[in-house]
Amino acid sequence: MAVELDAVGVSRSIIIGAGGTGHRVLLETRKRLVDKYGSLDRIPIVQFLQLDTVPLQEDVRYPKEVNLTPNEYVFMEVQNIWKYRRNLSRHPHLEPWVPETILTSNVEQGAGQVRARGRFAFTENYPSIRGRLFGAMNRVTSDAAYREATNSGVRVGSGVISVYIVSSLLGGTGSGIFLDLAYAARNELRQAAGANSIDTIGMLILPPAGGELVEIFSANAFAALLELNYFNDNATEFFAQYQPGMPELRDPDDPFSFCYLMDSRNEQGEAIGENKLIEMLGHYLFLDLTHEFARHKKQNRDNHKAWLGRDEYDCPTKYLSFGLSALAFPKDQILHVCANRLAKELVSGWMDPAQPMDERDIEAEAAHRIAAANYDRDHVLSGLALEGHQQHGKGAADAIGEIARKTEEMARRSLNEGAIRALETMIQQDLPAWTSAGDEADPDVMRRRNLGTFPEEIRRGLVRRLEHAKQWLIDLVPELVNDPRYRHEGCRRVLAVIERLASTYRDDLLRESAAHKAQCDALVKDLAAKLNQARGEIRKVMVPGAGASAGRKAEKLRAEAREKAEAAVAALCRVAATLAQTRVQAFVCDCALRFYRDLLTHLSALNREVGRYEERVGELRERFRAEEVRFLESVPAVNGEVLYSGREEDAAEAIEHYFEQVGPEALQELDGRVQAELGIARMGLYGYFMAEAATSLDAVASTLLRHTASAFRERLEAVEVLDLFFARYPDERAAESQIERLNRLSAPFVNAKAGGVGGFRDRPEQRQRNVGIPNADEPRTPAERRFKAMATKAASIIDERSWVPVASRSEALFLQERAGFPLRLMEDALQRCQSHYEHIQRVRKEPIHSRLDIPHWGSLNPPPPDLKAEAWELFLLAVAAGAVAGTSREVITQRGTERRWTYEVEYADDQGVRHRAELIRDLPALETLAFDGRDYPNGVTQLLLRLCDRDGLTELARRVRQSLDNLVKQEGAGVVRERLLVFVNQRIPERGEFSDHARAVISRYLKELGTAEPADGQPSQASPSPGEVRGPAPAPEPFQRLDALLASGLIDGGDYAGKLKEMVAAGTAAPEECLARLAGLRDQGHLSAADYELYRAALAGSAAVPAAEDPMVARLKRLKAMHDEGLITDAEFQAKKREILLSL
């Protein structure tokens, strides 16, 4: 998590990783950018893209914000592989180069170390890759990205857009696709880049020199280097078709503007592991994007361009390497650790009580608060029991007593049926109207209906109390959380005690409610009995008396009966009143029970809310803790030395010293500033973090870190790594020794011979060195002056321009770059790789190369240029003379429709068996070829690889020579001479690089031809004078008419050849001229090779025989030569021979 933002210029760039190693380098680069700028969102002008054949997975070694998002990742999976395996011919863009041996399983868990599988996956996922490339370039070049970057304080660099392609050459995915990716990225992105130019920069990792090599890894790397070297040759052209119907991508340029090869051992023998190498690449890319070094590195590359060409042996010298070492004070690491630790302590202060609280204090506080709110059991019961008193001027007991007393008085006065009805009315109507608890079987008092007056008032009181209690708890929680004495921990403990008390009250009320219900049940039975008794006693009173003598007795009996009736009525009314009061008490108890149940529900919900608060704030604290640990354990990835202080102490000890410089007062003042900015001072901690519209934790964390970092930044910025260096190494000799070591560590990490080899000189100008320290141009401090003097001596720096002033005082950088060396300088280092490559080719069924449509990849040590020139001149002469047949086809490329030529030679082997061998496929028209100052043109590498090697001309070249010589013997030097003259004087343009070259080559050959022995029976031809090989001359009139008819499509090649035969037979055209015209029809694709031979034989038969030649001998010899070469069958030979003999 970043805590600062420099306004260093950032270059518009796209960084593309291929395969697993490329992914790691991307993450290392992103980590440094995130550490510096806080978020990649602040630098949208830098985009990342990863291509791989495994699904995207988070790398736990890096923070979440460093890991790639799905939009930055292309999973190049290929499903349903069977449809390709069964019907490869239905995929014309794949059939020429995809071997069936790789179509064994779906591509979904890597390429299996098979480079062709990686390229196959790239091809089949090309639409997605193309879309992501366009998306990245559009984002990098958009005005919105520029605004976002500048608004974040980032100065956007101008100039070329850099497209970095990072890959290892050892595996199957990256090694299989890096070349296609380079060409596709450049060609597809040119249009999206608009007016901006593009540099493609390759960073390719080689097998470790001198280490243990896995055979397939080293074989893959060697094959990849052969392919890279092949396309770096100006004589080659890259071609590919990625989707059916899509124009072919054809590009004669190099794959990369700059191609860096990196090994784990440098020229000085200093070795680093794979992880260190990946970290160094990430550091280098980071410096390329954002550092003061970037400008000087780009200047280095401009200087390197002069050496990126070819050596005297015509080997590409398109390769670079570098070494980067540093002396670093890990300012960013210390700042991150201290800022996160301080932020963690601030948040801990928001969570933990200022002083630990005893459990008894918590219990007393909870009891006090619940009593103060009148929510203890006694207050709740008494409060509910008093509900309705104010509204009705009396309580439930008063109302019940009044009803019972009035009913009793009335019944005692009458003691008749009316009294009985009054008692029944009291029981069934009067008392229930005031005291009915509704359906007592329903435990939920809120659902009960037909409540009496007082229960209804009690229930209303319950609702009010519940609302009040809920709000009381809602207010209590933030009050406790915001109180430094309690915080959320104390709040949870207080709520726990309240919950425990409420649970106790609930349990007590449950028992009381059960007792009330049991009492009511008993009273109901007693009331029924008392009602029956009262009815009986009243009715006894109602029985009439008998006679006067019996009057006194009857009176006495009536008085006794009346007394019993009155007692029964009184007893009934007492029981009825007791039952009514008990029912009211039971209802009050049930309401209190409902109160505490709801209170417990609210407490549970609040505990969850407090838990969410704790989780939210705890997440913030844990984030800072995790970041602190991560940065503490993340030793800066520096190839060199890291100095935390001038003493011998580890990182934790040194960082603790820096952290202790912030005291309690500063921490309190910082806390106040943070809370004021965030709004916590106004809303309180609980209100702020629980608000629905609360700011995201990312924004809170960013604010916290901005403030906490400010407490350390000034002190850390003042620390100079050079001061720490000399404090650690006060001895002059020890200091010089460390500087020498840093210089050695910065040597280019490639195992290529220093010095020179045959055809190549390793010049000092091909190496660039930069050393960056503060005020490098004019050192200001004693440490700066002392370090510059020592480094000048230790690193042998003689050019003052090697010194680079850097703004940061926390690092000294050593960079060495080497440019313009050929791969053959690595021949010794790659010897084992070549051995593995050759072995894998023999034993593995899958191909080692990424494609099959290029049969010859050459070698790291190719034939010398003079041998290549000899092979090319042989081919040119054979084409011009007609000894090599050419056919053409139209090819649709991204540049439009082009005509390409394929040339073949036909020959008989030593046993007389006829063969046809392809020399080169899809060669552009000869007159369009460029030479770049060499004696052979661009685009003919495949031809040269077939015709020559390091040991000389190949067997196939010998066959081409034999075919040319046979042609001279069969047709005569004069015929061949005329054909060559027609070629240079009529078929090729008058001016042009190829035309000048072809005239020179053919002139030399014609001189040789003039001194050669003549064909059988033919006189020797004089050598042509220089004037004979000239620019194009007008064609004779008959030929002009035929050419016009052919061009307009009114005749075809066969018609043209038939007319030539007639002209020779009529004597209106020279046979040599017609034969040359016939060869032209073949070369231009108007005649097949077979038709050409038939017409050539016919023309030879129709030609007039020179007077000096014996007709029978000459014709029979030519006929026999055609038969020997297999041009005619035995039957044709015998028939023609009889015809010749008869004519003579």
Q: What is the pLDDT of residues 43-65, one digit of tens each?
A: 899 999 999 999 999 988 888 88
pLDDT value for 275: 87
Collapsed DSSP state (helix, strand, coil) of residue 13: strand
CA distance 1123 to 153: 85
**What is the average pLDDT across 801-806?**
88
* Residue pair 963/875 in contact by the 8 Å Cβ criterion: no
* pLDDT for residue 1114 is more than 70: no
Q: What is the DSSP string of 204-264?
A: EEPPPTTS---HHHHHHHHHHHHHHHHHTSTT--EEE--STTPPBEEE-S-S-SEEEEE-S
Confidence of residue 1066 (pLDDT cuts 50, 70, 90): confident
State yes or no: pLDDT of 143 exceeds 80. Answer: yes
At residue 636, does pLDDT exceed 80?
no
Q: How confident is the model at residue 1017 (pLDDT cuts 50, 70, 90)?
A: very low
Q: 3-class DSSP state for residue 812?
A: strand
Say which residues have a Cβ less than 8 Å from residue 1096's Cβ, sequence separation at least 6: 1075, 1078
Name the strand (E) or helix (H) holding 457.
helix 453-482
Q: Which of 173-182, 841-850, 1127-1136 has the highest mean pLDDT?
A: 173-182
> Which residues, including other chains, have CB under 8 Å from residue 579's CB and lie 6 or more apart?
431, 520, 523, 524, 527
User: What pLDDT band is residue 688 in, cutting at 50, 70 and 90?
Assistant: confident
pLDDT at residue 679, rounded to an integer: 84
Return the structure tokens found at 371: 């009593």
Q: Among candidates 240, 256, 243, 120, which has minimal Cα distance to 893?
A: 240
Residue 691 has a pLDDT of: 79
Among 650-659, 873-882, 1068-1077, the minimum mean pLDDT is found in 1068-1077
Q: Which two tokens stand for residue 124?
A: 């089949």
More confident residue, 1113 or 669: 669
Rounded to whole angstroms, the Cα distance separating 18 from 177 reads 7
Q: What is the CA radius of gyration of the chain?
A: 51
Do residues 746 and 802 make contact, with C-beta atoms less than 8 angstroms apart? no
Burial 1088-1104 (b: 16+ CB within 10 A, else e): eeebbbebbbbbbbbbe
Residue 594 in this model has a pLDDT that exceeds 60: yes
Binned at pLDDT 50, 70 and 90, residue 988 comes out as confident
In whole angstroms, give the CA distance from residue 63 to residue 27. 10
**Percentage of the chain exceeding pLDDT 90:** 34
SS (H, E, C) 1021-1085: CCCCCHHHCCCCCCCCHHHHHHHHHHHCCCCCHHHHHHHHHHHHHHCCCCHHHHHHHHHHHHHCC
The reported pLDDT for the residue numbered 651 is: 80
If you count them, how many residues does the chain have?
1144
The yes-or-no verdict on residue 761 having pLDDT over 70 is: yes
Q: CB–CB of 229/316 below 8 Å?
A: yes
Give the pLDDT of residue 1107.
Answer: 39
What would the mean pLDDT of 313-328 be, rounded to a whole number? 91
Q: Would you state the pLDDT for residue 1031?
A: 41
Mean pLDDT computed over 1012-1026: 42
- Predicted confidence at residue 1112, as pLDDT, reads 57
Residue 80's Cβ-count burial label (10 Å; 0-12, 13-18, 19+) is: exposed
Instruction: Report yes or no: 59 and 27 within 8 Å, Cβ to Cβ.
Output: yes
Least-confidence region, from 935-939, 957-961, 1091-1095:
1091-1095
549 has pLDDT over 70? no
Q: How far is CA 569 from CA 428, 530, 557, 579, in A?
A: 16, 8, 18, 15
- Single out the residue of 96, 122, 106, 99 nearest to residue 175, CA to CA: 122
Query: pTM score, two decimals?
Result: 0.69
Average pLDDT, the chain: 85
Identify whether the C-beta of residue 871 lies closer than 8 Å to the C-beta of residue 947: yes
- pLDDT computed for residue 209 by the predictor: 67
The CB-side HSE value for 1035 (13 A sphere, CA atoms) comes to: 17
Please tell me the predicted confidence (pLDDT) of residue 1042.
Answer: 77
Number of alpha carbons in the 13 Å side-chain half-sphere of residue 437: 24
Residues of the chain with CATH 3.40.50.1440: 13-263
Average pLDDT of the segment spanning 633-644: 83
**What is d(CA 903, CA 921) in angstroms, rounded to the nearest whole number?**
7
- Model pLDDT, residue 246: 87
pLDDT band at 1127 (very low <50, low <70, confident <90, very high): low
pLDDT > 70: percent of the chain: 91
3-state secondary structure 75-132: ECCECCCHHHHHCHHHCCCCCCCCCHHHCCCCECCCCCCCHHHHHHHHHHCHHHHHHH
The angle at the Cα of 444, spanning 439 to 447, to the nearest 5 degrees, equals 65
Please tell me the distance from the alpha carbon of residue 325 to that of residue 409, in angstroms, as a whole number. Answer: 113
Cα 843–Cα 845–Cα 851 angle in degrees, nearest 5: 115
CA distances for 577 relative to 300, 399, 456, angstroms = 108, 10, 19
CA distance linking residue 377 with residue 1112, whole number of Å: 141
CATH number for the domain formed by residue range(s) 13-263: 3.40.50.1440
Categorise residue 336: left if φ over 0, alpha if ψ from -120 to 50, beta otherwise: alpha
Q: Is residue 1029 a contact partner of residue 1002, using CB atoms and an 8 Å limit?
A: yes
pLDDT-based confidence at residue 1036 (cuts at 50, 70, 90): low
- Asked if the model's pLDDT at residue 1142 lies above 60, the reply is no
At residue 887, φ and ψ (nearest 5 deg) are -125, 155
Does the pLDDT at position 17 exceed 90?
yes
Whether the predicted pLDDT of 1132 surpasses 90: no
Q: What pLDDT band is residue 213 in, cutting at 50, 70 and 90?
A: low
Angle at 143 between CA 141 and CA 147, to 5 degrees: 115
The CB density around residue 276, as the number of other CB atoms within 10 Å, is 14
- Give per-residue pLDDT as tens, 353-389: 888 888 898 999 999 999 999 999 999 988 888 887 7
Each residue's pLDDT tens digit, 300-316 = 888 888 899 888 888 89
Q: Does the pLDDT at position 719 exceed 60?
A: yes
- Diameter of the chain measured on Cα atoms: 199
Mean pLDDT, to the nearest integer, of 279-293? 86
Residue 781: count of CB within 10 angstroms of its CB: 14
pLDDT at 163 over 70: yes
pLDDT of res. 240: 93
> For residue 1047, is pLDDT > 80?
no
In this structure, of 39-53, 139-153, 442-456, 1021-1035, the range with the lowest mean pLDDT score is 1021-1035
Range 993-1014 average pLDDT: 81
Residue 539 burial (CB count, 10 A): 15
Is the Cβ–Cβ distance between 744 and 270 less than 8 Å? yes
Q: What was the pLDDT predicted at 648? A: 77
Mean pLDDT of 404-432: 88
Cβ contact 326:640 at 8 Å: yes
Mean pLDDT on 314-326? 92
Q: 320-324, 914-918, 932-936: which has the highest mean pLDDT?
A: 320-324
152 has a pLDDT exceeding 70 = yes
Give CA–CA dist 1128/28, Å, rounded: 71
Residue 1024 confidence class, pLDDT cut points 50, 70, 90? very low
Q: What is the pLDDT of residue 720?
A: 92
SS3 816: strand
As a whole number of Å, the end-to-end CA separation of the chain is 103
Which of the residue ranges 546-550, 678-682, 925-929 has the most confident prediction, judged by mean pLDDT?
Answer: 925-929
Least confident of 806-810, 935-939, 1009-1013, 1121-1125: 1009-1013
Would you say 84 and 184 are in contact if contact means Cβ atoms under 8 Å apart?
Answer: no
- The closest of 201, 209, 123 to 162, measured between CA atoms, is 201
